[in-house]
Structure 1
C-alpha cells in the first residue's frame, strides 16, 4: 500500500510514547517525524513540510505550550493535536484557545487516536482559505483623532491637553521623543489647530541638510556671500514669518547655527549670511529631536543657553510600546489608507494578526507599524492574516545553550538530521554527507 502524502510530526520526551504513536501512524500509512524536545521539533519544522503537529505539553526546558504558540504564529494553518498524561481543565482551555484542534489524554486507545488524527487532518483541509479567519474589521471601531494625531491612550490625551494650552500663543516649544513617534504631527497640530493656522508652517529637517548649507538655508544669504550665491535669497525663517517654523533634529545643528538661532530667540531678528543688517521676524519656533540634548550639553556639542530658550514648553511624545491602546486605532487608519490605495476598498485584519501587532514593542514606533501594514495590505487579498506579517514580529523561542557533546554524538545527530531532510533516502543523504552508502549503513548500525 502506498504511503499517504501527509507528514506528521510527533513531539514527546517519552521515547515509549513516541514509538507507540509512530507505530500507529505508520499503520495508517502516514509519514512520521519524531522529536524528543521543542528545539528538535522547531528544527524539523524549518526543514520539512509538516501537515499535523502531535505534541505533549509537559516537557523539560521549553514546554509544549510554547511550541503551540510558536507554530500558531509561524505556521498558522498547521493543525495541532495535544496528547498529554497530565490533564487539567486549565491546560485544556489554554490549548484550545491556542488553536489546538483535539486534546487526547494518556492512556488512549488506537481508535481514539485515529478519530483525533482524522478530525485534525480534516480541519487542516478546511483551514486553507482566508475566510477561516474572523474579520476584526467587520466591527466598526470609533477612531479617536485630533488633527492628524490618532489615539485615545492617557499619554496621547496628555499631549493633546498641552497642545490646547499652547496653540494660540507663540511660546517656543520643544518636542522630544524617539524616531517615528510622530513629533512633526504634534508640531502641525499646534499650528493648524490654533488661530495662526492661516499663516505659513515651514518644516525643516536639520539632519537632512548638509552642515555647510544649513545656515544659509535657515537664515538666507546675500549675493556674493559664498561661491554660488548669485543673488539675495530669503531663508526658511523669513518664509515662515507670521507663522511657525518646525526645526526637526535640532541636535544636528552646528555651533554656528546654534549661535544664530539663539539670536532669533532673544532678539526676534534674523541676519542673513554675508549681511550685517538684522531683519525682524514674528515667528513661533518649535524644535524637536530624538537626541539627548542634556548629554550633548555635557559634551559641549550643544549650547546650554539655547537649550533653555528652546524648552519654554516641553512636550514628550511617548513611544508606541507605552501606548499600546492606540495600536488598533492606528492600524485602522493605515488599513483604510492603503486599502483604498492598493485594493480600492477597506482591508480587514484577523484577530490573531491583530494580537501579534498589539504584543510587539515597535522599536521603530508608528513609522514601523505603518510599513508593516502597508506591506501586509499589498500581500493579502482582503484580510490580513498571521502569514502576511514579518517573522520578526512573531514569537521567537530562546533555547538554552547546548552542552558540549562528544564528536561521535554530534556526528550521530547530524546524520539523523540529513536523513530527516531527505525523507530517509540513504543515497541522497550519503551524497550530502560526502560518504558512500556502505559507510552510512555502518554508521546507522552503530
Structure 2
C-alpha cells in the first residue's frame, strides 16, 4: 500500500490510545496529528485537509457523532474510521450515515487498524481510478461512439444507441457476446452515462471467485458468523449501494446461489451471513455472459426465473469478424493509444497488412486486435506497420484448397457463379445487409446486384 505523504488525524480522549496509535502508524509511514476531543479535531480539519481520520465515538465536550455532523463538508475528501468500546451495529450504521467509512470495536488488535486503513486506501484508489476513467472518457469522446467503445458499423451503432437510451433508466441489462467483444466496457459506459455515475461501479467475475467464498463475497458477513469471521464485512451488493454492480460471466454462478441473487433482484435486500435481519440496497445490476443462457436453462444449469429477471434488456455484442469495417477505425485508435503509452510515432498500417487484419477471423475479438497492434508497434522500426509485423492466420485456405472447396469439376461458368454468390454474400454480411455499401465493395451497379441476389437466391 502506498501511504507516502498520507496525513492522518487521531481523535481520542485517551492519551494512551493516541500515543499507541501514533507510534504504530508513524512506523507505517503516516504523518500523524492528534486531538483530544471532537472540538479540537474540528479545529484541525478546518485548518488542514486529512487523508484519513481515526475518531473515537465516546468523548467529552464533543463526541464522535457530533464531530461528524459538525465537520460536514470539511470531510468530503477524507476517509473517516470510527472507534468505540460501547458501540453496536446500529451505532456503526448511524456513524456511516454521517459519513464514516468503517467501524472498529475497542479493544482491537493493531493489525485490525492497519487492515482497516489498507481497505480504506484501496477504496480511495478505486475512487481515483473511477475519476480518472471518467475524465479519460470525456477526453476521448471525440474519437468514440459510446463511452470507451469504437465502431462505425451498423451493428455497433445500433448497440450504442440502445446503450445510450437504457443508461437513463435503472433497467437490468444482460450483455452477451464472445470473450473480448467489450462486455465490461459497454457496462461501464452505461454506468457512467447514468445518474449513478458519481457512485461506485463494482465489477466482479462470477467465475473467478471460489465457490466456497461466493456467498460471503456477495452478501458479506457479521462478526462471529463462522470461524475466522473476526469482524463485520460488507458484501459486494452493499459496497455497490447507490451505484452499479457488474456481474461478469453470470453463467458461471452456481445454481445453489442463483436463488439468493433472484431475491436481491426481486426485493432489493440482502442478508449478510450471521445477520438476523435483511438490509435494503439500492443497486443497479448489469450482467454479462459468453454462454447461451437459454441453452443453460434448458439443460437445468441456470434458473429460468433468474434468467428472465436478468434479461429485461438484452444487448448482444457482435464478434469482430461480423463487423470487419470497424477494424481500420479500431487500429487507428489503438495506434494513437500505444504511441502515447510507448512513446512511439507510428503513422499507420500498410494496405497489405490491413488486408491481412480484415481477413483474419479474430477468435479473441477486439482484445486480440489490441494485443496484436501493441506487439506490432513494439516490433517495428519504422513509421508504418507492415505485414511482417503481424503473425496470424487469416482463416482462409491455401489458394488451391480454396478452389477445391468451392466447387467440383472444371466449368468456368459454374465456378464464376459460385464465386459471385460467395462474394455477394460476404459483402452483404460485412455491410449488415446494406445493398448500397455492398455495391461499392463489389464494384458493380445496384440493379446488377439485385439481379444476382435474385438469381442466386441469396437470403439477407
Describe the shift of the 1:342–1:396 C-alpha distance in structure 2 as closer, same or farther (beyond 3 A): farther
Partner residue, 2:168: 168
Partner residue, 2:61: none
Residue 324 of structure 1, CA deviation:
1.2
Partner residue, 2:377: 377
Matches within 5 A, 1:107-256: 143-256=143-256
User: What secondary structure does 1:181 align onto?
Assistant: coil
Matches within 5 A, 1:274-285: 274-285=274-285
User: Unmatched 5+ residue regions in structure 1?
Assistant: 1-141, 401-446
| Runs of 4+ displaced beyond 6 Å | none
Partner residue, 2:325: 325
User: What secondary structure does 1:275 align onto?
Assistant: coil
Matches within 5 A, 1:37-436: 143-381=143-381, 382-393=383-394, 396-397=397-398
Q: Would the aligned equivalents of 2:251 and 2:293 in 1 still touch at CA under 8 Å?
A: yes
Describe the shift of the 1:231–1:278 C-alpha distance in structure 2 as closer, same or farther (beyond 3 A): same
Aligned residues: 260
Q: Would the aligned equivalents of 1:244 and 1:285 in 2 still touch at CA under 8 Å?
A: yes
Partner residue, 1:34: none
User: What secondary structure does 1:145 align onto?
Assistant: coil
Residue 165 of structure 1, CA deviation:
1.8
Residue 342 of structure 1, CA deviation:
2.2
TM-score normalized by the length of structure 2: 0.54
Residue 299 of structure 1, CA deviation:
1.7
Identify the range of structure 1 (339-348 vs 304-313) with the bigger mean alpha-carbon deviation.
339-348
**Inter-partner Cα distance in structure 1 for 2:292 and 2:276:** 34
Residue 391 of structure 1, CA deviation:
3.8
User: Unmatched 5+ residue regions in structure 2?
Assistant: 1-141, 402-460
Q: Would the aligned equivalents of 1:187 and 1:246 in 2 still touch at CA under 8 Å?
A: yes
**Inter-partner Cα distance in structure 2 for 1:290 and 1:394:** 22
Residue 147 of structure 1, CA deviation:
1.1
Q: Would the aligned equivalents of 1:144 and 1:329 in 2 still touch at CA under 8 Å?
A: no
Larger radius of gyration: 1
Partner residue, 1:440: none
Residue 207 of structure 1, CA deviation:
1.2
User: What secondary structure does 1:286 align onto?
Assistant: strand
CA RMSD of aligned residues (A): 1.9
TM-score normalized by the length of structure 1: 0.56
**Inter-partner Cα distance in structure 2 for 1:198 and 1:386:** 44
Q: Would the aligned equivalents of 2:205 and 2:248 in 1 still touch at CA under 8 Å?
A: yes
